[in-house]
Structure 1
Amino acid sequence: MRIIRGRAPDARTEQRGTTFDGTVWADPVLPATDGVTINTIYFTPGARTHWHRHEHGQILQVTTGSGWVCSEGQPPERLGPGDVVWVPPGERHWHGAGEHSALAHVAISLGRTEWEEPVSEQDYRAAQARRQR
């Protein structure tokens, strides 16, 4: 058993870069332990992950703001405070803030993460157009 009180010892909030577009900060809650990583992620307006997938899935719990999550081949889905998302193992997806709102969520990643290419401006704009409906 391992108990993390408050946050991981020696944890440092870090700006993410190579697998995200826009300004994104990660605050480690539980560094990789037995294939599980937990981070609180802060996205500035318009910021988002690249396409990616998780070996054993991912859980997202939105704490503040609004944004989007999108699985390949599906329409983007709006996210808001209190929403919880289960992304099944191997499902290619992206998530991030809306165009005019920041987004914070707790990300529980299970197993290895495979990062892919950036989300195209066209794919991100599709989320914004969906907001208009």
Structure 2
Amino acid sequence: MHIEPRTPTVKNPPEQFAGDVWVESIVKPHEDGQHTTAALVRFAPGARTAWHSHEKGQYLHIIQGTARFGTRDGDVIEVHPGQTLYTPPGQEHWHASTEDGFMEHIAFLELGDDPSTATTWKEHVTDDDLRGTTTAGGSET
């Protein structure tokens, strides 16, 4: 066993994010057959991802602030520290902070055989997408 070296925090690209978003990789595969990755992602107030989906789904555990997540059907879920959101494989969605506060989450992602296909990025989220129909606290299953 060993302690993982710390990776640099990097600002995410504007093609995939609107506003200031930083990511720090905290888990990556080391051995054949390992596919799990995890990253600490920090969103400045009002920052958001573009629409995207994940080949094998994604877990997002909220650390700080209120997170907002939206889907193509217009639903917007607010998720709070200590809660975990699951997005199933192929579901197009976005993540955002609120307009008045920072938000941090840990993103857990399972890579497929070709890591370049793990996430499919789409167009930027509009203000109408952000408004959606909000459900406070999300649903727990």
Once the two structures are superposed, residues 93-123 of structure 1 have per-residue CA deviations (whole angstroms, 9 ceiling, x without a partner) of 0011011111000001122111111101211
Which residue identity lines up with residue 28 of structure 2 in the other structure? Answer: P
Alpha carbons of 1:47 and 1:35: their partners in 2 closer, same or farther (altered >3 Å)? Answer: same
Task: Report percent identity of matched pairs.
Answer: 30
Once the two structures are superposed, residues 26-53 of structure 1 have per-residue CA deviations (whole angstroms, 9 ceiling, x without a partner) of 0110135533221000000000111000
8 Å Cα contact 1:4-1:30 kept in structure 2:
no
- CA–CA distance in 2 between the matches of 1:75 and 1:86? 14
Tell me, yes or no, if structure 1 residue 26 matches structure 2 residue 23: yes
The Cα shift of 1:75 comes to 1.3
Aligned position for 1:116: 122
Q: Secondary structure at the match of 2:75?
A: coil
The Cα shift of 1:4 comes to 6.1
Aligned position for 2:114: none
Aligned position for 1:45: 45
- CA–CA distance in 2 between the matches of 1:114 and 1:63? 25
Query: Across the two proteins, how many residue pairs are aligned to each other?
Result: 126
Q: Secondary structure at the match of 2:28?
A: strand
Which residue identity lines up with residue 25 of structure 2 in the other structure? Answer: P
TM-score in terms of structure 1 length: 0.85
The Cα shift of 1:71 comes to 1.8
Contiguous gaps of at least 5 residues in structure 2: 112-117, 136-141
Aligned position for 1:82: 82
Contiguous gaps of at least 5 residues in structure 1: none
Aligned position for 1:14: 10
8 Å Cα contact 1:67-1:101 kept in structure 2:
no
Aligned position for 1:57: 57
RMSD of aligned alpha carbons: 2.0
